[in-house]
Amino acid sequence: MVRVRFAPSPTGYLHLGNARTALFNYLFAKHNNGILVLRIEDTDAERSKKEYETAIMEDLKWFGVKWDEGPDTGGENGPYRQTERLGLYRQAAEKLLQEGKVYRCYCTREETEERNRRAGKNESAGYDNFCRDLSPQDLGRYEREGRKPVLRFRVPGKKVEVNDLVRGQVVFEPGSIPDFVIMKSDGLPTFHFAVVIDDCMMKITHVIRGEDHLSNTPKHIMLFEAMGFDIPGFAHMSMTLGRDKTRLSKRHGATSVRAYRDEGYLPEAFFNYIALLGWGTAESQDIFSPEELVREFSIERCNKSNAVFDPEKLLWMNGLYMRKTTPARILNLSLPYLKEAGIAGDGETEEKMHYLEKAVSLEQEKIKLLKDVPYHIGFFVKEPVYEEKAVSKYLTEKGKEVLGAILTSFEGCEEWSIHDLEARVRDFCEAKGYKAGEVFHPLRVALSGKTTGPGLFEMIEHLGRDKTLERLKKWSA
């Protein structure tokens, strides 16, 4: 049974690169009818925050990554927060200490740096294995001095091979890794130790994570071996870069899932786009349903080269999914934005909701983001926001005269149907020798404040008699 995990540290909002790692774990688990575990790596007490843990879980759920075991769902292999597993790490460390596979190290950083300097090495060259074989006398002396030891792993002097499922074989030569700490002097495990204990106890079969962890993997393999655990498969995913090919960071704009969610992306568009960051089919297909992604996903198709995050492509894809979904759903999802813009309030009548839904359906082709819905449909409800350029170009003296005549004609319109409205405007153009544009543009701008929007007569019909006549009065000479 395939068991994978996503293991975020709750030190910030979910980053796009981590969202990709989470999604690939999810797709791999589902493809293999396996289990996805969510594990919260919160041992960094200073930087970990409960609110980030909650936000990460919300954002994962938002775009469709669901886990089978985790801090909220529970499961047989919990607890799923590292701070709740401290006893397990201590027990495992104690066993390794008894077996002589780890040793107590009393050195301060300054002492190690000083020794490195004296040995002609760079002071930050790493640990020199000084405490590896301390005599009982030295050990006793350090204890009496009240020093608090860390536990260091005795790195075996042999090469370590990582058979990475994406990168192939990566060899780490003997001597390239100094003895490393597994338990800190405050009794907390290091990242390396906690990860290995958890991956083993949670029966993880495949570790799928970012390439930035590849250099940690030999340490993890050595620990798995020292404890007699089965070594899981490893798959290190390429990094996600901005369009300038540097590591994706704040400089590239929004980098958290939360920011995209707030902008009004649709979860299914986000799910689809993120899946393409470092994975693809031979046919370079772009649009996939979640079911297709689960069916098609494989680690073999993950790219070794870095993925480039292209916000324009994401926006394009969002527009496409926006056109695929229903106006009712767009309306529902955009309610927070409509409320903020004063276009809809709490507990609107069914009639108003239908009116707004129809307005959305008229504009649906043009909506790219939920947050733009108020811009597109606001004028159906509130006084339009008149765009200056449009006003100065079309609501001229001549434009206003045209609108005056149209007003008179519309006042006589009883049926208020697209058909009737259009016939009146076209008759007017013909009678007065106007080109359609000379009339259509001022009409649209006077009613909506903008030069673009839905079909003119559908728009007027939906706007309704009262608002139309009122706005025409305002703008007619």
Site for ligand GLU, rule CB under 6 A: 7-9, 41, 195, 209, 213
Neighbours of 459 (CB within 10 A): 22
- Look at residues 178, 189, 166, 165 and name the one whose alpha carbon lies nearest to residue 121: 178
Q: Using CA atoms, how far apart are residues 472 and 445, in angstroms rounded to an integer?
A: 10
Q: Is 66 a catalytic residue?
A: no
CA 289 to chain CA centroid, Å, is 18
Which C-beta is closer to ligand GLU: that of 41 or that of 69?
41
From the CB of 217, what's the least distance to ligand GLU, in Å?
A: 9
Q: Which residue has the tokens 């649209």?
A: 444
Q: Which entry of 148, 250, 389, 400 is annotated as an active-site residue?
A: 250
210 phi and psi, to 5 degrees?
-70, 155
DSSP-assigned letter for residue 282: T
By beta-carbon distance, which residue lies closest to ligand GLU?
209
Which C-beta is closer to ligand GLU: that of 7 or that of 335?
7
237 phi and psi, to 5 degrees?
-85, 145
In contact, 94 and 227? CB cutoff 8 Å: no
From the CB of 154, what's the least distance to ligand GLU, in Å?
A: 23
Contacts of 414 (CB under 8 A, 6+ apart): 420
Amino acid at residue number 311: P
337 phi and psi, to 5 degrees?
-70, -40
Contacts of 400 (CB under 8 A, 6+ apart): 442, 475, 476, 477
Which C-beta is closer to ligand GLU: that of 80 or that of 142?
80
SS3 content of the chain, % helix, strand, coil (to 5): 50, 10, 35
Which C-beta is closer to ligand GLU: that of 6 or that of 103?
6
Which C-beta is closer to ligand GLU: that of 222 or that of 446?
222
> Is the CA virtual torsion 191, 197, 203, 206 positive or negative?
positive
Kind of pairing between the strands at 206-210 and 150-153? unpaired
Go through 133-155 and write b for each residue having 16 or more CB atoms within 10 A of its CB, e for each that does not.
ebeeeeeeebeeeeeebbbbbbb
Which C-beta is closer to ligand GLU: that of 237 or that of 266?
237
Q: Which residue has the tokens 């990094």?
A: 239
Which C-beta is closer to ligand GLU: that of 208 or that of 459?
208
**Angle, to 10 degrees, between the axis of helix 267-275 and the axis of helix 311-324?**
130
Catalytic residue ranges: 250
